[in-house]
Structure 1
Amino acid sequence: MDRLKTAAIAACACLAACAPVEEPAADGYDAALANLDTSRACFFTREINGYSDAPSSSARNDRLYISTGVNERWLLETYGSCPDLDFANAVGLDVRGSISVCTGQTETLLVPSTIPGEVDRCPVRVLGRVIEDD
């Protein structure tokens, strides 16, 4: 009986390994990066007034937009997975006492965990400022 369970588990693992994976665009086009200013620019942490989901990268890293000021958005990308980001109602940045965050910097995203009282710490990189179409 144990051999049968082991064989069934192995078969499921093989099938999962063969599952289709979404391939990045053949031309390397990334829609989220199309309207992005990646030159060195900064925002003040006190200006952060919201966040929203952004399309994931071709490497399947999570991305999010941080809203600042009146009409500015910045694109941030996690390194690896950030388990509870999809379910978070709020996020924060742990900037270690800095008053500003700039393009290219790596910071720590704080995401409330599904475990009460816990917080996930996810490294994120600031990719750039979103250029809004007029």
Structure 2
Amino acid sequence: MKPAPILAAMAALAATASLSTAPAVAQGENFGKPNKSERACFYASNVRGFDAVQDKVLNVKVGANDVYRMELLGSCPNLDYANGIALMSRNSTFICAGLDATIVYDGPNGPQRCQISQISKLTAAEAKALPRDARP
């Protein structure tokens, strides 16, 4: 597991945008049941570690127990050698979907940017089942 320092300047830049309000809960037949299409969101400042699985997949630890799988839009060379990452959000520090954020890290030739295409929160069982070298 690599600790994930978030760059203060990028976090401050993202924090200047306002947070969107949570959608209202629709009442009806499914009231009180979790919505499968509901997105699992997190604050970029809560990222505690990461591990690059491939050049297109990144597992990120958020808070004490949550693990998110981030699929990247393209290849991110040398991401597995990065000592730290920054998550730059488009709208706020609240990240819900892939296109909400970009990963920035120091590559051998300077800063590298990788667009996130999809984010999914792993269940506790899925996170525990990750191979040791893929756990954030």
SS of structure 2 residue aligned to 1:121: strand
Q: Is the 8 A contact 2:98 2:119 kept in 1?
A: yes
SS of structure 1 residue aligned to 2:124: coil
Q: Within 1, Cα distance between the matches of 2:97 and 2:113?
A: 20
How far is the alpha carbon of 1:103 from its aligned partner?
3.5
Q: Within 2, Cα distance between the matches of 1:121 and 1:38?
A: 28
Note the 1:59-74 alignment, pairs <5 A. Answer: 62-74=56-68
Query: 2:123 aligns to what?
Result: 131
- Which of 66, 77, 81 in structure 2 is aligned with 1:87? 81
**Per-residue Cα deviation, 1:21-69 (whole angstroms, up to 9, x for no partner):** xxxxxxxxxxxxxxxx874110011111111123x4xxxx610111111
Note the 1:4-83 alignment, pairs <5 A. Answer: 39-54=38-53, 56=54, 62-83=56-77
Q: Is the 8 A contact 1:39 1:103 kept in 2?
A: no
- Which of 95, 98, 101 in structure 1 is aligned with 2:95? 101
Runs of 4+ aligned residues of structure 1 deviating over 6 Å after TM superposition are: none
The residue type paired with residue 50 of structure 1 is G
User: Structure 1 106/95 Cα, relative in aligned 2: closer, same or farther at 3 Å?
Assistant: closer
Q: Could you tell me which runs of 5 or more consecutive residues in structure 2 were left unpaired when the two chains were aligned.
A: 1-35, 129-136
Q: Within 2, Cα distance between the matches of 1:41 and 1:126?
A: 12
User: Structure 1 103/95 Cα, relative in aligned 2: closer, same or farther at 3 Å?
Assistant: closer
**Root mean square deviation of aligned Cα:** 2.3
User: Structure 1 104/123 Cα, relative in aligned 2: closer, same or farther at 3 Å?
Assistant: closer
TM-score (norm 2): 0.58
User: Structure 1 114/104 Cα, relative in aligned 2: closer, same or farther at 3 Å?
Assistant: closer
Q: Within 2, Cα distance between the matches of 1:106 and 1:71?
A: 22
Which has the higher mean CA deviation after the structures are superposed, 67-76 or 102-111? 102-111
TM-score (norm 1): 0.59
> Aligned residues, how many?
91
Q: Could you tell me which runs of 5 or more consecutive residues in structure 1 were left unpaired when the two chains were aligned.
A: 1-36
User: Structure 1 104/81 Cα, relative in aligned 2: closer, same or farther at 3 Å?
Assistant: closer
